[in-house]
């Protein structure tokens, strides 16, 4: 048996889809069923049926055209095990979609107000992945608020959030320097814990900067390296600088030396340089989406493993900051996102709530940074739980960028 | 099920028409593939290369089993494939009953795809910013006789999902059993998936992609990667477990035995055609066992090592005579593994053993960390418990093994086309 899992190339798939769409059209035209009729509620109804013919999954429409205006698409997966989502697209942009489709579940629908033009029903995994759908005439109802406008507006507001964090970081690092200079180790530890979250909230936006005049691939000029490098990834030719070198002195060394003081002075200088470079930047909606996902990757790859704060073990402080930064980016996209995919938006919301509720259980006002110390014992006990909660958020969040990039 | 090759309407019959009996193909001559003999076995060779597996038997990667409409789920009566990945899951806090329905429906569709050798979704999406639905590592591999079996744990029927009234009659956590040495991190689970295939990557891919589909609804709990089947189906020669003994000689084989000891009857409502699964992770003290003299090893099991004959016989399938006494002593010691486990000495009880060898590498003492992923199917989990109560107390094997993982699950029947596993649970 030759399993039919070889995907058609994109070109072949389109060609095949065109043929079957044409067949479908003629088939329907002959019995006069081609265009969906508007119902009393004003919406036209189109059924999208997913079936398996014994060897292949296929996607079929009961009507391949409808008059302009509100159109309700109802998706019913009868037996197509390889198709789990369906989208309505125009010019590669997703206008509406349904996911989690599987045989045995009740049919689901979505309604869109469409203007005259050519559209495509996209059934990834189906024998005919793309089916042409035509809307005739002009919609009388105004089009729903422009998703693009909402997303752009959100991105603009998000830039303000980033600027606030940068300002907080500058103040926090100045306080850290003052405490280090005073020689008071407890005050310095506390200031360290207060300064850290600002950088972690916006890490994915600020990690790409170099000191003006230096090369992109030279760590000596790489601000992320100079500010946030951990012991595990040191570049010997450049040495150790920044937050974590100070962390080592405070916790492992247990003393503030002349070296600690010069590290703090240098950190302040680099943070100020970063602030001048990263302020007043413009972000595209997909930058926010990618950044939100990037921050969660940081959580998974560093914080949960306890690698970020190897001496102070305040990993949960950074963890919470990464999550907050990620959620902020998401919140600014949300007004537009809701219009693109309300269920995904809700799903991400729910998972953020779960992660936050879980983080709340680790709050400890007495601890540095406000969260329990992530000791090896705590890590052994809870790392798995933390990781799975973040993973459950990461999966839906990783689909944001595509949604946002293809939004109308 | 007395013959390896079943008619097409048999639930466990391979779909591929050109499937060839594996029994003895390569054992018959000096590795000679005798065409006449092949035809005699009843298969057309077609273009499939049959490769001898570790038992000197042929494996046909193109074999696939149907998922829908088979009555029983596959992976139980199916003749054991060579590899198996077993994983249990917990349902995440906050999950709703309808989330659970979606999960079962998506898992069912996914399993149907995987068993047919197809990906669970698009491997390489056309848009660069899209995330692939299938992870892709099995994209060029054939179905490899993959079966995926879903199990529902006792805790699923607590008050979380309103399913308490539907709880299968005999589903309950196993009682504490003698010699239990269970580790919390290797026990229980709301759900289980058993993925067995002739190719380990096919089995692993199935579990990986199903776990991925489940994310946000379920979290992984514990897993064992089984290699090398340690039980025999109807048409198979008996393989060996890591203690070097043939395992599965007196296993359940015939359809009649399956009806009597494994499958639930028609009076079980939504569980009719289902069964119960018990999974135990049993660690072996490999080094200590290897240092034991052969006479003692044979007394531990009550069988010879090479042939696998009962100590009262000469051939593997000779019926053991548990009462035979020589020089005033039982020839098969009364505390030998088979003497304690045999149906003759347990009121006729039989269970289906469908085990796999496993290894976890090297333990903290530098010893080989390996054992048996012991999976059984029976129409009453207490049948397992009754045997283990006895074995855990008296079995000579206890000196060399330790039960470290455990779980019990109800195995619902297979869905009809257009439906999903355990769908009736929600109606
Ligand atoms: C690492 C653990 C175990 C090993 C290595 C092992 C090995 C064996 C071997 C070599 C045989 C003889 C061949 C055969 O008839 O299949 C056997 C038989 C059997 N074992 Fe086990 N076994 C293990 C655990 C268990 C457990 C936990 C149970 C049940 C609670 C069990 C139940 C049986 C039964 C029912 C038989 C058939 C006895 C007969 O009818 O002669 N075994 N086992």
B189 touches chain A (CB under 8 A): no
CB contacts of A3 in chain B (<8 Å) are 64, 116-118, 142-143
pLDDT at B37 > cutoff 50: no
Mean pLDDT value across residues B183-210: 97
Mean pLDDT value across residues B313-330: 97
Same-domain pairing of A208 and A124: no
- Smallest CA–CA separation between A39 and chain B, in Å? 29
Q: Residue B282: enclosing H or E segment and its boundaries? A: strand B275-284
A5 in a domain, yes or no?
no
Domain hosting residue A45, numbered range: 19-136
CB contacts of B60 in chain A (<8 Å) are none
CB atoms within 10 A of CB A152: 16
Tell me the CA–centroid distance for residue B339 and ligand 1, in Å. Answer: 10
Tell me the CA–centroid distance for residue B341 and ligand 1, in Å. Answer: 7
Q: Whose CA is nearest to atom 3 of ligand 1?
A: B372
CB contacts of B418 in chain A (<8 Å) are 78-79, 103-104
Question: Residue A247's pLDDT is what?
Answer: 96
Band of residue B7 on the pLDDT scale cut at 50, 70, 90: very low
- Smallest CA–CA separation between B87 and chain A, in Å? 15
Best mutation site among A7, A14, A81, A407 for testing chain B: the one with the most B CBs within 10 Å? A81
CB contacts of A9 in chain B (<8 Å) are none
The 3-class SS string of chain A reads CCCCCCCCCHHHHHHHHHHHHHHHHHHHHHCCCCECCECCCCCEEEEEEEEECCCCEEEEECCCEEECEEEEEEEEECCCCCCCCEEEEECCEEEEEECCCCCCCCCEEEEEEECCEEEEEECCCCCCCEEEEEEECCCCCCCCCCHHHHHHHHHHHHHHHHHHHHHHHHHHHHHHHHHHHHCCHHHHHHHHHHHHHHHHHCHHHHCCCECCCCCCCCHHHEHHHHHHCCHHHCCCCCCCCCHHHHHHHHHHHCCCCHHHHHHHHHHHHHHHHHHHHHCCCCCCHHHHHHHHHHHHHHHHHHHCCCCCCCCCCCHHHHHHHHHHHHHHHHHHHHHHHHHHCHHHHHHHHHHHHHHHHHHHCCECCCCHHHECCCCHHHHHHHHHHHHHHHHHHHHHHCCHHHHHHCCC
Q: Write phi, then psi, for B361 (nearest 5 degrees).
A: 90, -125
CATH number at residue A123: 2.60.40.420
- Smallest CA–CA separation between B143 and chain A, in Å? 7
Same-domain pairing of A36 and A68: yes
Same-domain pairing of A191 and A62: no
> For B235-278, what is each residue's pLDDT tens digit?
789 999 999 999 999 999 999 999 999 999 999 999 999 999 99
Task: Say if strands A69-77 and A44-52 run parallel, antiparallel, or are unpaired.
Answer: parallel
Instruction: Say whether B85 sits in a helix, a strand or coil.
Output: strand
Tell me the CA–centroid distance for residue B354 and ligand 1, in Å. Answer: 11
CB proximity under 8 Å: B 13-32 to A? 15-16
Identify the CA nearest to B248 among candidates B79, B97, B128, B65: B79
Band of residue A256 on the pLDDT scale cut at 50, 70, 90: very high
Cβ neighbors of A384 (< 8 A, separation 6 or more) are none
Q: Which of A91-95, A109-113, B307-311 has the highest mean pLDDT?
A: B307-311
> For A182-207, what is each residue's pLDDT tens digit?
999 999 999 999 999 999 999 988 87
| Cβ within 8 Å, pair A82-B131 | no
Mean pLDDT value across residues A224-235: 86
> For B57-114, what is each residue's pLDDT tens digit?
678 999 999 999 999 999 999 999 999 999 999 998 878 888 899 999 999 999 999 9
CB contacts of B220 in chain A (<8 Å) are 388
Tell me the CA–centroid distance for residue A295 and ligand 1, in Å. Answer: 51
Same-domain pairing of A379 and A299: yes
> For B213-232, what is each residue's pLDDT tens digit?
999 899 999 999 999 898 88
Same-domain pairing of A60 and A197: no
pLDDT at A347 > cutoff 90: yes
Last residue of a domain, one of A118, A136, A154: A136
Check: CB of residue B183 under 8 Å from CB of residue B402.
no
* Nearest ligand 1 atom, CA B308: 13
Distance between CA atoms of residues B179 and B388, nearest Å: 9
Q: Whose CA is nearest to atom 16 of ligand 1?
A: B248
| Cβ within 8 Å, pair A84-B117 | no
Among candidates A2, A84, A398 on the partner chain, residue whose Cβ is nearest the Cβ of B131:
A398
Which residues does A contribute to its contact with B (CB < 8 Å)?
1-5, 7, 10, 77-82, 84, 92, 100, 102-105, 124-125, 286, 347, 350-351, 354, 388, 391-393, 395-396, 398-399, 401-402, 405-406
B214 touches chain A (CB under 8 A): no
Same-domain pairing of A112 and A177: no
Residue A130 pairs with which residues in a beta bridge?
Answer: A122
- What's the domain count of chain A? 2
Distance between CA atoms of residues B60 and B63, nearest Å: 6
B118 touches chain A (CB under 8 A): yes
- Smallest CA–CA separation between A127 and chain B, in Å? 12
CA dihedral B293, B294, B297, B301 (to 10 degrees): -170
| Cβ within 8 Å, pair B93-A354 | yes
Check: CB of residue A353 under 8 Å from CB of residue A323.
no
| Cβ within 8 Å, pair B118-A100 | no
Check: CB of residue B232 under 8 Å from CB of residue B361.
no
| pTM of the full structure | 0.78
Question: Residue A237's pLDDT is what?
Answer: 85
Instruction: Say whether B189 sits in a helix, a strand or coil.
Output: coil
Same-domain pairing of A198 and A330: yes
| Cβ within 8 Å, pair A402-B417 | no
Distance between CA atoms of residues B76 and B327, nearest Å: 43
> For A305-321, what is each residue's pLDDT tens digit?
888 999 999 999 999 99
CB contacts of A304 in chain B (<8 Å) are none
Distance between CA atoms of residues B379 and B56, nearest Å: 33
A282 in a domain, yes or no?
yes
A7 in a domain, yes or no?
no
Same-domain pairing of A236 and A285: yes
A2 in a domain, yes or no?
no
Which of B337, B371, B384 has most ligand 1 atoms within 8 Å of its beta carbon, as the pocket-test mutant?
B337
CB contacts of A406 in chain B (<8 Å) are 127, 129
Same-domain pairing of A53 and A164: no
CA B134, B138, B143, B145 torsion-angle sign? negative
pLDDT at B384 > cutoff 50: yes
Same-domain pairing of A184 and A299: yes
| Cβ within 8 Å, pair A102-B105 | yes
Task: Say if strands B368-378 and B329-330 run parallel, antiparallel, or are unpaired.
Answer: unpaired
Band of residue A34 on the pLDDT scale cut at 50, 70, 90: low
CB proximity under 8 Å: B 305-334 to A? none
What percent of chain B is predicted at pLDDT more than 90? Answer: 78
Please give the residue of chain A at the shortest CA–CA distance from B100: A105
pLDDT at A180 > cutoff 60: yes
Q: Whose CA is nearest to atom 27 of ligand 1?
A: B388
CATH number at residue A215: 1.20.1420.20
Please give the residue of chain B at the shortest CA–CA distance from A101: B106
Buried b (16+ CB within 10 A) or exposed e, B27-45: eeeeeeeeeeebeeeebee
B130 touches chain A (CB under 8 A): yes
pLDDT at A16 > cutoff 50: no
A178 in a domain, yes or no?
yes
Last residue of a domain, one of A120, A136, A152: A136
Band of residue B23 on the pLDDT scale cut at 50, 70, 90: very low
Which of B247, B323, B377 has most ligand 1 atoms within 8 Å of its beta carbon, as the pocket-test mutant?
B247
Same-domain pairing of A28 and A68: yes
| Cβ within 8 Å, pair A395-B120 | no
Distance between CA atoms of residues B262 and A348, nearest Å: 43
Which of B341, B388, B398, B399 has most ligand 1 atoms within 8 Å of its beta carbon, as the pocket-test mutant?
B341
Q: Write phi, then psi, for B240 (nearest 5 degrees).
A: -120, 150
Average pLDDT across chain A, whole number: 84
Question: Residue B271's pLDDT is what?
Answer: 97
Same-domain pairing of A48 and A165: no
CB contacts of A5 in chain B (<8 Å) are 117-119, 139
What percent of chain A is predicted at pLDDT more than 90? Answer: 53
| Cβ within 8 Å, pair B215-A392 | yes
CA A226, A230, A231, A234 torsion-angle sign? negative
Tell me the CA–centroid distance for residue B179 and ligand 1, in Å. Answer: 16
Last residue of a domain, one of A102, A136, A170: A136
Residues listed for chain A = 408
> For B105-147, what is each residue's pLDDT tens digit?
999 999 999 999 999 999 998 777 778 999 999 999 999 999 9
Distance between CA atoms of residues B351 and B341, nearest Å: 10
Q: Residue B407: enclosing H or E segment and its boundaries? A: strand B401-411
| Cβ within 8 Å, pair B418-A104 | yes
The set of protein residues with a Cβ atom below 6 angstroms from ligand 1 is B 241, 243, 245-251, 282, 284, 301, 303, 320, 337-338, 341-343, 351, 372, 374, 384, 387-388, 391, 401
């Amino acid at each position: 048996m030759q399993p039919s899992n070889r995907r058609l190339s994109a070109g072949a798939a389109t060609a095949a889809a065109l043929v079957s769409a044409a067949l479908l059209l003629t088939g329907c035209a002959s019995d006069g069923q081609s265009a969906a009729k508007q119902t009393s509620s004003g919406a036209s109804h189109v059924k999208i049926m997913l079936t398996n013919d014994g060897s292949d999954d296929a996607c079929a429409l009961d009507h391949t055209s409808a008059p302009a205006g509100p159109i309700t698409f109802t998706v019913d997966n009868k037996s197509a095990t390889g198709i789990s989502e369906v989208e309505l697209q125009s010019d590669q942009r997703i206008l509406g979609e349904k996911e989690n489709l599987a045989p045995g579940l009740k049919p689901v629908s979505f309604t869109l107000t469409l203007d005259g033009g050519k559209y495509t029903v996209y059934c990834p995994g189906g024998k005919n992945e793309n089916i042409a759908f035509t809307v005739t005439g002009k919609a009388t109802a105004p089009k729903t608020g422009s998703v693009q406008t909402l997303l752009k507006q959100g991105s603009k507001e998000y830039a303000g959030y980033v600027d606030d964090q940068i300002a907080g970081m500058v103040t926090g690092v100045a306080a850290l320097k003052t405490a280090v200079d005073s020689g008071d180790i407890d005050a310095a530890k506390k200031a360290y814990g207060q300064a850290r979250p600002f950088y972690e909230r916006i890490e994915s936006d600020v990690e790409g900067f170099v000191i003006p005049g230096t090369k992109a691939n030279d760590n000596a000029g790489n601000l992320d390296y100079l500010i946030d490098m951990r012991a595990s990834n040191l570049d010997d030719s450049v040495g150790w600088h920044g937050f974590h070198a100070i962390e080592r002195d405070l916790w492992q060394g247990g003393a503030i030396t002349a070296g600690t003081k010069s590290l703090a002075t240098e950190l302040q200088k680099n943070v100020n340089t970063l602030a001048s470079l990263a302020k007043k930047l413009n972000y595209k909606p997909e930058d926010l989406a990618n950044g939100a996902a990037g921050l969660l990757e940081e959580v998974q790859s560093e914080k949960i493993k306890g690698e970020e704060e190897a001496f102070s073990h305040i990993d949960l402080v950074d963890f919470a900051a990464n999550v907050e930064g990620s959620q902020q980016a998401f919140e600014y996209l949300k007004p537009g996102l809701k219009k693109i995919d309300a269920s995904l938006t809700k799903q991400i919301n729910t998972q953020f709530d779960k992660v936050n509720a879980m983080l709340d259980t680790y709050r400890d006002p007495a601890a540095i940074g406000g969260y329990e110390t992530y000791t090896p014992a705590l890590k052994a006990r809870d790392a798995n739980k933390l990781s799975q909660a973040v993973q459950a958020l990461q999966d839906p969040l990783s689909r944001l960028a595509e949604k946002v990039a293809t939004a109308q | 099920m007395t013959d390896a090759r079943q008619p097409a309407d048999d639930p466990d019959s391979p779909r591929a028409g050109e499937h060839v009996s594996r029994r003895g193909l390569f054992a018959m001559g000096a590795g000679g593939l005798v065409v006449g003999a092949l035809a005699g076995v009843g298969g057309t060779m077609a273009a499939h290369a049959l490769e001898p597996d570790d038992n000197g038997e042929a494996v046909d990667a193109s074999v696939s089993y149907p998922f829908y409409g088979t009555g029983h789920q596959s992976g139980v009566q199916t003749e054991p494939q060579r590899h198996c990945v077993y994983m249990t899951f917990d349902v995440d806090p906050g999950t709703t009953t309808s989330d659970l329905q979606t999960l079962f429906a998506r898992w069912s569709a996914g399993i149907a795809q995987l068993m047919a050798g197809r990906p669970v979704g698009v491997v390489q999406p056309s848009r660069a910013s899209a995330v692939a639905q299938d992870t892709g590592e099995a994209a060029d591999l054939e179905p490899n006789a993959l079966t995926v079996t879903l199990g529902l744990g006792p805790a699923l029927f607590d008050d979380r999902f309103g399913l308490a009234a539907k709880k299968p009659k005999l589903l309950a956590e196993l009682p504490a059993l003698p010699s239990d040495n269970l580790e919390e991190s290797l026990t229980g689970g709301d759900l289980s998936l058993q993925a067995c295939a002739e190719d380990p990557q096919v089995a692993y891919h199935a579990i990986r992609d199903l776990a991925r589909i489940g994310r946000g609804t379920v979290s992984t709990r514990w897993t064992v990667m089984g290699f090398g089947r340690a039980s025999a189906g109807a048409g198979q020669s008996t393989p060996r477990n890591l203690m070097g003994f043939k395992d599965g000689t007196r296993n359940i084989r015939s359809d009649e035995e399956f009806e009597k000891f494994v499958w639930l009857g028609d009076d079980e409502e939504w569980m009719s055609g289902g069964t119960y699964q018990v999974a135990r992770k049993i660690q072996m003290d490999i080094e200590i066992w290897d240092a034991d003299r052969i006479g003692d090893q044979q007394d531990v099991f009550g069988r010879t090592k090479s042939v696998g004959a009962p100590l009262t016989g000469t051939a593997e399938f000779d019926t053991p005579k548990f009462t035979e006494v020589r020089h005033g002593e039982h020839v098969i010691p009364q505390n030998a593994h088979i003497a304690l486990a045999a149906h003759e000495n347990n009121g006729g009880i039989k269970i289906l053993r469908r085990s796999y060898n496993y290894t976890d590498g090297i333990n903290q003492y530098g010893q080989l960390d390996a054992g048996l992923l012991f999976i059984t199917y029976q129409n009453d989990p207490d049948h397992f418990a009754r045997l283990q109560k006895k074995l855990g107390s008296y079995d000579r094997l206890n000196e060399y093994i330790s039960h470290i993982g455990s779980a019990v699950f109800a195995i619902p029947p297979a869905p009809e086309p257009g439906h999903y596993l355990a769908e009736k649970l929600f109606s």
